[in-house]
Amino acid sequence: MNCELSRTFYMHANGHEVDTLGHILRLAARQLAQSPAIQLSGNPMKRQAGLAGTELLEVKEMISKMAEELTIGPLNTNPPAADSLVFLAGGIAGAPDA
């Protein structure tokens, strides 16, 4: 694999390397999908898997673009709606009492 970085990133991968990159993207998407989306205090943006705001949006967009280029299909990076609602609404949404 050859990579160059000078504020522009070029990558050349062959065969097995392309397959491995696809696995890395699937793992990244799965990690995001299994992480709850947390509403940031005083901000309309969310935090998920340690990423917040525009950084989170840019990572999700990059995963999507790379998956499209590798023709591995769309990858879901969003947490289940029920998990986010329970976390955001707390006891109101029927979350178990602690």
pLDDT of the residue at 39: 84
Q: Which residues pair with 77 in a beta bridge?
A: none
Per-residue pLDDT tens for 1-15?
A: 877 767 777 788 888
pLDDT of the residue at 37: 86
Entry pTM: 0.68
Sign of CA dihedral 72, 56, 89, 30: positive
- The number of beta carbons lying within 10 Å of the beta carbon of residue 74 is 10
Per-residue pLDDT tens for 33-86?
A: 998 888 888 888 888 888 888 898 999 999 999 998 888 888 888 887 755 544
- Residue 87, pLDDT above cutoff 60: no
